[in-house]
């Protein structure tokens, strides 16, 4: 039995306890999600709990019970609707989460078909986008819509015919007078959700969470007029019964649905190999955010109906199909410890050490807990099962605790009074007045010094190519650098003395350092790691003063008078530049580098008076280039979204800034819209 996966308990006793907690928790949240249309946790987090359940049951098959959530379709019809018994039982697909699981599926399919038909065959597959909406079952009699029902528990659903008739993309009569049962997905457009949320906010109500939940809630409204006003949509993807012969493959079936007049998602394709399937899945991970509907994976089906019939069904799912989910942006895992980390400005951050888990395509074992107040707000304890979120390139974040999973052995975390440095020495911790954060009293801790150097050479600072944390560590450990200016006095011989450095790599590092000697004033200020001074604040200061000489002479009042710089930041700047050690550091640095002063801000550009916030990854522009273009046209760039924000430019994998913009009613621009505006 393979128990190498860290998520699988090592003993049967531990497995029994974990399975009991998982089953109870999954049933609770599945009932809320499928029956009540409520979500206490995200669908991705629920998927993660179900996936863990399946993995443990596979490792301990004798612990599988008939009532396990893995053995049946969830949900039951609501009492407020007339019940409809499905003429064809409704199934749900099993899930896969990575390429390895898909190759296992391919092997199972080929082996099963070989036994069923008595020969080896290699089926082709059809890939269809998995739309995140609400399943609907449509019954037509002689080409006319008879009933529409929800999936319910797979045997009995809810009669939502009157509401489905309000969906314009559902044909009331087909192009052929056939009788049959057709399945699809009801969904709501992202742009529709945005419109409805603006109306909710204007009326003083809370905005809706996501289009899937709103679509599900809308289709269950008792008043069809509400359904019509909310403009739902539908994609039809399957024929489960027909009074004539069905096409002999899935591709032709989808084309036949289109011929009948159904709206079919156009992004389906035939794949000859499993590698082709995986390539399609990987491509749509990047493309999905650009569509106006939510996509949470790819449905993969054997194309040939002959082989589909041979494969048949298990107790809960078809053997011929599987749902290949996109890498989840929310998963569940266990918090094993909380460790303090000292940042470059001395701020002490509690970091969660997690049982390793894959989220958004990468394995994560650490997540920030931000500060003591956040730990108390979450009520997170060592040993808890937690929900981990990662959006795009954003650092993983714990967003909630699954408290139903608690056993009573979890331990509360008490914020310590001291923090240990790399060399074993300790520093007292103090809470920063008026803030939630703590900091180390000793501002010269070695751990803090390392992080300041990491930031100094990073893309946000001097952007020294090939000079990452490992190189900085080696230089510090060899006592070759102690202050920032030491980097610019390194010789080829100094670098060659380091382990794992040959002549070519040493020359490349020296060349990269020399290439970085010219820097803009804004980036220079950013690189200094002045407390409370981020990229945008540094840019504002650079633009306000124009050169480093004026900044060095500035007073608290001078800094405080800059738009966007508050008293806390102004005091931090005044204190930093008044420190005699920093005076000496600046003198030495300015002897080694050249600072490019900012151009005078234009007052005639088309973006004058407009403030932009950028979020997500832009496809055709580097973010720094986008900021430069905005400023060149007279616009402002801010780090956070507020009521004063004019536009939010959203690229791929936007983070929480997009959510805040939607809640505040700030106009959101796609990259395409943004580029049009610049022209």
Catalytic machinery residues? 130
Helix, strand, or coil (residue 535):
helix
**DSSP output for 125-183:** EEEEEEE-SEEEEEEEETTEEEEEEE-TTSSEEEB-HHHHTT-TTS-SB-SS---EEEE
Cβ proximity of 213 and 298 under 8 Å: no
Contacts for 104 with CB less than 8 Å, ≥ 6 apart: none
Contacts for 88 with CB less than 8 Å, ≥ 6 apart: 181, 240, 241
Cβ proximity of 602 and 634 under 8 Å: yes
Helix, strand, or coil (residue 440):
strand
Contacts 24+ apart (CB under 8 A), 507-512: 508/466, 509/466, 509/467, 509/471, 512/464, 512/465, 512/466, 512/467
Please tell me the distance from the alpha carbon of residue 239 to that of residue 181, in angstroms, as a whole number. Answer: 6
Q: Which two tokens stand for residue 220?
A: 């269950």
**Closest C-alpha to 315, from 66, 75, 112:** 66
Please tell me the distance from the alpha carbon of residue 184 to that of residue 308, in angstroms, as a whole number. Answer: 19
What are the phi and psi torsion angles at 434 (to 5°)?
80, 5
Please tell me the distance from the alpha carbon of residue 220 to that of residue 201, in angstroms, as a whole number. Answer: 23
Please tell me the distance from the alpha carbon of residue 560 to that of residue 294, in angstroms, as a whole number. Answer: 45
Run of H or E including 572 = helix 567-578
Query: Regarding beta strands 518-520 and 594-596, do their DSSP bridges make them parallel or antiparallel, or are they unpaired?
Result: parallel
Please tell me the distance from the alpha carbon of residue 537 to that of residue 637, in angstroms, as a whole number. Answer: 10
Buried-state track 414-442, b at ≥16 Cβ within 10 A, e below 16: eeeeebebeeeeebebeeeeeeebbbbeb
**DSSP output for 40-65:** SS-HHHHHHHHHHHHHHHHHSGGG--
Please tell me the distance from the alpha carbon of residue 249 to that of residue 67, in angstroms, as a whole number. Answer: 35
Run of H or E including 589 = helix 580-590
């Amino acid at each position: 039995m393979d128990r190498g996966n860290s998520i699988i308990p090592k003993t049967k006793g531990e497995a029994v306890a974990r399975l009991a907690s998982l089953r109870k928790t999954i049933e609770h949240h599945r009932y809320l999600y499928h029956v009540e249309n409520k979500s206490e946790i995200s669908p991705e987090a629920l998927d993660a709990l179900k996936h863990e359940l399946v993995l443990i049951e596979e490792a301990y098959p004798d612990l599988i019970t008939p009532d396990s959530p893995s053995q049946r379709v969830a949900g039951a019809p609501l009492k407020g609707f007339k019940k409809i018994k499905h003429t064809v039982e409704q199934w749900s697909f099993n899930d896969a989460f990575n390429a390895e699981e898909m190759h296992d599926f391919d092997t199972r399919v080929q082996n099963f078909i070989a036994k069923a038909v008595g020969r080896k065959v290699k089926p082709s597959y059809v890939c269809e986008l998995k739309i995140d909406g609400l399943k609907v079952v449509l019954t037509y009699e002689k080409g006319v819509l008879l009933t529409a029902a929800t999936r319910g528990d797979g045997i009995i659903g809810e009669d939502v015919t009157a509401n489905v008739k309000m969906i314009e993309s559902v044909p009331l009569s087909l192009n052929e007078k056939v009788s049959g049962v057709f399945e699809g997905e009801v969904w709501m457009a992202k742009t529709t959700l945005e419109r409805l949320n603006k109306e909710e906010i204007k009326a003083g109500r809370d905005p809706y969470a996501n289009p899937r939940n709103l679509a599900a809630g809308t289709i269950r409204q008792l008043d069809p007029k509400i359904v019509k006003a909310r403009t739902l949509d539908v994609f039809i993807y399957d024929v489960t019964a027909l009074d004539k012969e069905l096409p002999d493959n899935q591709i032709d079936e989808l084309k036949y649905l289109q011929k009948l007049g159904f709206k079919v998602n156009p992004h389906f394709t035939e794949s000859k190999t499993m590698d082709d399937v995986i390539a399609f899945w990987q491509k749509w991970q990047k493309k999905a955010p650009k569509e106006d509907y939510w996509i949470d994976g790819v449905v993969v089906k054997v194309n040939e109906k002959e082989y589909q019939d041979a494969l048949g069904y298990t107790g809960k799912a078809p053997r011929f199909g599987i749902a290949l989910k996109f890498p989840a942006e929310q998963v569940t895992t266990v918090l094993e410890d909380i460790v303090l980390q000292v940042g470059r400005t001395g701020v002490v951050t509690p970091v969660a050490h997690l049982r390793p888990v894959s989220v958004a395509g990468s394995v994560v074992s650490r997540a920030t807990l931000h500060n003591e107040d956040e730990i108390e707000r979450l009520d997170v304890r060592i040993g808890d099962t937690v929900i981990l979120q990662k959006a795009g390139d954003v650092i993983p974040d714990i967003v909630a605790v699954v408290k139903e999973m608690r056993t009573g052995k979890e331990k509360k975390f008490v914020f310590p009074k001291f923090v240990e440095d790399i060399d074993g020495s300790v520093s007292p911790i103090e809470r920063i007045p008026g803030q939630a954060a703590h900091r180390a009293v000793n501002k010269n801790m070695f751990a803090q010094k390392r992080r300041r150097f990491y930031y100094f050479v990073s893309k946000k600072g001097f952007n020294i190519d090939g000079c990452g944390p490992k190189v900085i560590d080696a230089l510090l450990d060899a006592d070759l650098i102690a202050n920032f200016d030491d980097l610019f006095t390194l010789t080829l011989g100094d670098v060659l003395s380091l382990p794992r450095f040959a002549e070519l790599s040493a020359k490349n590092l020296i060349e990269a350092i020399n290439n970085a000697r010219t820097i803009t004033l804004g980036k220079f200020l950013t690189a200094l790691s002045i407390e409370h001074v981020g990229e945008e604040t540094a840019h504002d200061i650079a633009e306000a003063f124009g050169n480093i000489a004026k900044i060095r002479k500035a007073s608290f009042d001078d800094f405080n008078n800059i738009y966007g710089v508050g008293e806390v930041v102004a005091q931090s700047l005044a204190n930093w530049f008044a420190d005699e050690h920093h005076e000496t550091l600046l003198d030495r640095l300015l002897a080694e580098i050249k600072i490019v002063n900012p151009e005078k801000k234009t007052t005639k550009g088309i973006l004058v008076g407009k403030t932009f916030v950028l979020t997500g990854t832009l496809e055709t522009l580097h973010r720094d280039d986008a900021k430069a273009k905005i400023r060149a046209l007279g616009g402002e760039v801010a780090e956070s979204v507020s009521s004063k924000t004019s536009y939010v430019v959203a690229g791929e994998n936007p983070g929480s800034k997009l959510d805040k913009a939607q809640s505040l009613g700030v106009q959101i621009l796609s990259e395409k819209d943004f580029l049009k505006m610049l022209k």
